[in-house]
Amino acid sequence: MSRRVVVTGSQGFIGRNLMVALARSDEVDASGFDINDSRQQLADALAGCDVVYHLAGINRPQDPSDFWAGNARFTAELSNMLVAKGSRPLVVFASSTQAELDNAYGRSKLEAERELADWSEYSGGSVVVFRLPNVFGKWCRPNYNSVVATFCHRIARDLPIRVDDPRANLRLAYVDDVVRALLDAAGTEARGCRFGAVHPVVELTVGELAAQIRALHDACHSPDVPDLATPFARALFATYLSYLEADDRAFSFDLRSDDRGDLAELLREPHGGQVFVSRTRPGVTRGNHYHDTKVERFMVIVGEGLIRLRDLGSASIEEYRVSGNAPQAVIIPPGVTHSIQNTGDVDLVTLFWADEVFDPEQPDTYFEPVMRDQESP
């Protein structure tokens, strides 16, 4: 039987990401509630539900009094609806680290936590409270309450950003990690009211964030891939790309051409090497060189070809017939001279990967014919 789930604030930033994740499960029947839905619709959805993700709230109103109405008072209404319907679901509440501070927003969130704690004690229901830091990720609204969304949106459009204090500290959680924590909380059996936690939370300054997003912008339309060695770096890169306008999602690389065919780089990454694609004319052979340390992989994706390998100092030649109809990767170890020949009637398209970015000052590429009768690369 499907688990019945209600999500308040379902069209907001976190709510939208959560609803998409819930929709992937055949074991969940999720109902979304947002500001345009009536209180009666919410009350009907709460009857007999198993889990409530309470994400709705106010965080940047025009009138500060709306903090209380949208956070504390609405949560009290939600609690009363649960009592009236006789429902005792698990309530997972998206609070804020601001609840630990003495400001209007924080006080309204703290009072909402108390409302749910009182409901839990009265009804015997369960509550998990997440005091979330700044959350970033796809679909977050720029120029609202997320500095990451604002910076990504503006930098992607070559607009200036405002940095009042570059040394100001930020604590950031990625929306996918938040959604994962919310979903995991639904699997708990503990009764009463307790706190949940999202991991990881990354700390950095506003100036560092701005610099990282600018670097992503500079690398976006070139073969150079930014350093993605950490989960935060990958999450920030994914977030930045989600703010690109449609016209910026496709771009052209420089094409290098000669009598043999064409070559274009797809990507370069300092710690992961580079990927490029070549087009070789029928009958043409590329390569006839070896590397001291560099390693490569070849994959033909269109056409028919013959890859030849020969260990230095050996007369024995290995041959691999390759075809775009049945792609396979051929590994090129160091100290092995190699070539690839187009044996078909159409251009041969090959995908290449090398474990280092090509450096013309130290190319680690030395001419050596695979077959002794070949005299030029």
> Which residues have CB under 8 Å from 138's CB, separation 6+?
17, 175, 238, 239, 242
Provide mean pLDDT across the span 77-86: 96
The pair of three-digit structure tokens given for residue 297, joined into one six-digit string: 């992989």
DSSP string covering 226-252, please?
Answer: P---SHHHHHHHHHHHTT--GGGS---
The pair of three-digit structure tokens given for residue 243, joined into one six-digit string: 């703010």
Tokens 């290449």 locate to 352
Confidence (pTM): 0.84
Provide mean pLDDT across the span 147-165: 96
The answer to whether 182 and 130 have CB atoms below 8 angstroms apart is: yes
The pair of three-digit structure tokens given for residue 135, joined into one six-digit string: 């959350």
Q: What is the pLDDT of residue 376?
A: 44
> H helices then E strands: how many in the chain?
9, 20
Picking from 105, 173, 94, the residue whose alpha carbon sits closest to that of residue 127 is 94
Tokens 């959604």 locate to 179
Q: How confident is the model at residue 331 (pLDDT cuts 50, 70, 90)?
A: very high
Picking from 253, 303, 309, the residue whose alpha carbon sits closest to that of residue 280 is 303
Provide mean pLDDT across the span 115-120: 96
- C-alpha dist (Å) from residue 219 to 136, 232, 248, 356: 21, 17, 13, 17
Provide mean pLDDT across the span 55-64: 86
Q: What is the pLDDT of residue 270?
A: 74
Reported as half-sphere exposure (CB side, CA atoms, 13 A), residue 252 has a value of: 3
Packing angle of the helix pair 13-23, 175-185 (nearest 10 deg): 60
- In whole angstroms, what is the distance from residue 239 CA to residue 254 CA? 27
Q: How confident is the model at residue 349 (pLDDT cuts 50, 70, 90)?
A: very high
Q: What is the pLDDT of residue 377?
A: 43
Q: What is the pLDDT of residue 117?
A: 96
Residue-averaged pLDDT of the chain: 92
Res. 109: pLDDT tops 70: yes
> Which residues have CB under 8 Å from 98's CB, separation 6+?
105, 106, 109
What percentage of the chain reaches a pLDDT higher than 70?
Answer: 98
Q: What is the pLDDT of residue 47?
A: 94
Q: How confident is the model at residue 126 (pLDDT cuts 50, 70, 90)?
A: very high
Which residues are known catalytic residues? Answer: 105
- In whole angstroms, what is the distance from residue 196 CA to residue 130 CA? 5
Q: What is the pLDDT of residue 373?
A: 67
The answer to whether 306 and 322 have CB atoms below 8 angstroms apart is: yes
Give the single-character DSSP code of 224: B
Tokens 């204090």 locate to 165
Model confidence pLDDT, tens digit, residues 217-226: 988 888 888 8
Give the single-character DSSP code of 326: S
Provide mean pLDDT across the span 331-335: 93
3-state secondary structure 59-123: CCCCCCHHHHHHHHHHHHHHHHHHHHHCCCCEEEEEEEHHHHCCCHHHHHHHHHHHHHHHHHHHH
Provide mean pLDDT across the span 227-250: 90
Range among 216-230, 251-265, 303-317 rated most confident:
303-317
- In whole angstroms, what is the distance from residue 27 CA to residue 46 CA? 18
Res. 291: pLDDT tops 90: yes
Displacement of CA 241 from its chain's centroid (Å): 9
Q: What is the pLDDT of residue 264?
A: 80
Tokens 């930098």 locate to 155
Q: How confident is the model at residue 374 (pLDDT cuts 50, 70, 90)?
A: low
What percentage of the chain reaches a pLDDT higher than 90?
Answer: 80
Reported as half-sphere exposure (CB side, CA atoms, 13 A), residue 70 has a value of: 20
